[in-house]
Amino acid sequence: RVGSLRRDLILFFYLIIVPPSTPGNISCIYHYNVKFTCIYEFGYVFFSISVKTKPPKIVSVEKIPGVKQLLNVTWDKPDPTLLDLNCRLRYRNTNSNTSITVNFTMNQNERRSSFNLTDLWDFTEYAIAIQCVGVESEIWSEWSEEKIGRTEQQAPSRKVDLWRVIESSPSAENRYVHLMWKVLKEYPSSECLLGYKIQYCPENNASFKMTQNTTDKVAKLLLTGEAYVISVVAYNSVGESPEATLRIPSIGEKSTFF
């Protein structure tokens, strides 16, 4: 009320329903030959498509005869094949969860490719997998199914650690010599040994050499009173280790062996 004048104020409210904004920031993933998935949000319009390829198929993981510590991996390019791809190969010792990754590219004209894994352990199984992504995409394929390959075996490269104990004997003609040795750790070739070869002969008569094989890490030899030279090698199906040698002094000779 203003003075004697009364005014009534009437307010009118209108509810207007309008259509939503045009979707924008549209991002689509094309799972090749499977499905087409888009994600969007409201805002300005932007549209992009990323192609997600199928995983590559590993055709073979093979050792090359005569080449040590190497595996050759061959795989087929995934669909769609008319793409330039960035790929990565993952490999690991099957006894370990730690893997190493190697990066490489495949151009659109390649259908099959191969790669040599080098500096591997001897006679060891490796698990290999590959995944790829289009060079203009950010969506990596799933990892391929792991494929297993084993490197070639080598002859043992380290000689055994050899020592001896000479039994005292009242006789000046014969004595027993006990040999003992251990294999120095050389994973994994040292775990694939077939046995040990012992050779011994009088120091002054190398032509009179005797040989004895065993799968144990001990041996007992009956020797005459003269000085002897003894050697021990470890062997597997490929070859022998370097010789470990020692000299047995003659009876009555002062020994310098500790």
Same structural domain, 95 and 43: no
Phi-psi region of 136 (alpha: psi -120 to 50; beta: other; left: phi over 0): alpha
Q: Which residues pair with 100 in a beta bridge?
A: 91
Q: Rounded to the nearest 5°, which phi and psi values hold at 168?
A: -70, 145
Query: Domain check: are 20 and 66 in the same one?
Result: no
Does residue 177 fall inside a structural domain?
Answer: yes
Domain count, the chain: 3
pLDDT at 206: 87
Kindly state the tokens that stand for 166: 């000479």
Assess if residue 258 is contained within a domain.
no
110 part of a folded domain: yes
**Residues of the chain falling short of pLDDT 50:** 1-18, 34, 43-46, 257-258
Give 190-205 pLDDT, tens digit per residue: 668 999 999 999 999 9
Residue 139 shares a structural domain with residue 63: yes
What does the pLDDT look like over 74-98, one tens digit per residue?
Answer: 999 987 778 899 999 999 999 889 9
Do 118 and 58 belong to one domain?
Answer: yes
Residues 206 and 141 in one domain: no
- 31 belongs to a structural domain: yes
Last residue of a domain, one of 150, 185, 207: 150
Q: Which domain holds residue 47?
A: 11-52
Asked whether residue 2 is domain-assigned, the answer is no
191 shares its domain with 106:
no
Measured from the Cβ of residue 27, the count of other Cβ atoms closer than 10 Å reads 16
Residues 58 and 45 in one domain: no
Residues 18 and 90 in one domain: no
Q: What is the pTM of this model?
A: 0.66
pLDDT of res. 154: 86
List all residues 6 or more positions away from 58 whose beta carbon is below 8 Å from its beta carbon. Answer: 73, 74, 75, 128, 129, 130, 144, 145, 147
Asked whether residue 155 is assigned to any structural domain, the reply reads no
The pLDDT assigned to 202 comes to 95
Same domain (yes/no): 94, 42: no
Q: What is the CATH number of the domain that holds 78?
A: 2.60.40.10
| Beta carbons of 108 and 83 less than 8 angstroms apart | yes
Q: Are residues 138 and 67 in the same domain?
A: yes
